[in-house]
Chain A
């Protein structure tokens, strides 16, 4: 059997004596969507920020394709083709869509100057695929609607050939129509063999979009289950009670 795309083994991290993530192991295969569930403060976002390079784990290791990976910064994570769509979107509101899309990875001219026109052209191409209604290329993203901002954040993650995609509450700020678009996008990316961690509050979303779900409570992993083996209520029980359902335990 081939090694999983991502394996996070025995990850722990503390903030001022509080163990935000305590000895958690999760894994993800290519072409698979794994949902991360839990209450606010359960540690899902913290766990994922370790993978995306925003935090450093105090214990534990990360393996990518079975090889030990050293991720000390967002830049390192990007070099492993890990892309993240943050809940806050992490957009610089004063810059336009293409500047945000290429932030930290600007296209440059032979003289080393940033090539805004080329970046805008690339942005138009990817947007035509992701969100054909998107037209506001030359205004700061502050002037965009929630859905448009979300599509900029998604475009940024997708454009650079992500192999591992982290989506932190991607539909939290969206209307039903845009939520549907994100759902379709996830299916599409999955079909391309990309592995996706989907952090969500919404059990319904997870049941619909994910192959497996890992549930966290108080920084600890309650368990990882195949979504087809469980019901909504089973997942809810794991979140609230912190116990695996009886038929799987």
Chain B
């Protein structure tokens, strides 16, 4: 390390401050990039990018890829790859579409619209996804076939299993309760959203407080109190701000009228209602919290990162890395099935091309989010932010009117550029590349 040139005095000071506050500079950079992209598109579209309506749409479009990206972090951290998630999403979506429109209502005689259909369907989907994922993990962990090959094969197999199951037809409309997970059809409304936001703020405060107290009892390093309070305030502001924006996105009048008509009532004059938080975003939130807990606070997560950092050391520490491989791929399958619920219900039907190229979006999101392909490094929030950045770029360019081919050219270039920046950053900070 003595070869590293020492920075100027202000540089070291700044680095110390960031270290003292335990702020992740890479995360800061990504948030900066995201803000630049958002503000840039907002300028180019004359204020149409940062409207409640577009933020709502961006949110529900990001969810499916973001959920899978959180699982891809574990896969890539363990030095594997999963190219089959898009195809697996199609298969689980097809299974669930058949279950809710044909098997349960007709074959088992529950009848269309039965409230049991959605929960049973989702359980079936999650089980199928997990089993297929675990099977991939078995081939990779126990039979030692490279994950690239297993999941490349899986891409072809599951894409076409989905086709075979549905004869390539679009299946829909999906069950109305099931559709609540998609976005526009399932939102919490204003009061529930506010209630949840307040709960979120309280939970944030409680988490920060508990972590600080635990550190103090073990005499570990604690950051200054003002920094802790500032962090809490910032997180609370983000929660409240996000809720306020989505609560100000009003349901179009025509849509409201249709909703009243369906209930057989007429809409009162001057009635307004807002969407509030979409249920799919809450699903993502739950997944993100659960995955972060797994990554940081469980043995499973510790072993995933240890194995990614040094497989031999993990093995010598008594970690069963083969079983661990099965577990992470099963988890990836489970998350893919959750994404399938969100993706198919957002479209209100299962279409044959659902999830096409999602594997590339998911891997790109994880990598843009700072997951190192060499293994051992990656965060869940980074991957989700990566998914958001990708989706913002794509939507923004569509709104500005960039030609379709150029959109993909830009997204592809951004992926490569992001990894280059990450490599340069790691080299500067002396981290492993």
Contact = CB atoms under 8 A, between A and B. Distances in A.
Contact of B299 (A53, A54, A114): A114
Interface in A67-110: 73-75, 78, 84, 86, 88-95, 99-100, 103-104, 106, 108
Contacts of B306: 92, 95, 99, 103
Interface residues of B, number: 33
Given A93-B376, A114-B299, A88 B215 contact: no
Interface string A206-238: 000000000000000000000000000000000
Most chain B C-beta atoms within 10 Å of own C-beta, residue among A52, A103, A142? A103
Interface stretch (A6-14, A115-123, A169-177, A239-247): A115-123
Interface string B159-173: 000000000000000
A47 B428 CA distance: 42
A121 B218 contact: yes
Contacts of B106: none
Contact of B430 (A54, A106, A143): A143
A113 B297 CA distance: 5
Contact of B1 (A84, A93, A106, A145): A145
Given A93-B432, A120-B218, A142-B432, A106 B302 contact: yes
B415 to A, nearest CB: 23
A52 B315 CA distance: 12
Given A113-B298, A114-B302, A117-B215, A94 B317 contact: no
B221 interface: yes
Contact of A121 (B1, B219, B298): B219
B98 interface: no
B377 interface: yes
Interface in A5-25: none
Contacts of B264: none
Contacts of B430: 143
B298 A93 contact: no
Nearest to B19: A138
Chain A interface secondary structure, helix, strand, loop or mixed? loop
A94 B377 contact: yes
B312 interface: yes
A117 B214 contact: yes
B196 interface: no
A96 to B, nearest CB: 11
A88 B319 CA distance: 17
Contact of B313 (A90, A106, A114): A90
Interface of B: 1, 214-215, 217-221, 293, 297-299, 302-303, 305-310, 312-319, 376-377, 430-432
Interface of A: 52-54, 73-75, 78, 84, 86, 88-95, 99-100, 103-104, 106, 108, 112-114, 117-118, 120-121, 124, 138, 140, 142-143, 145
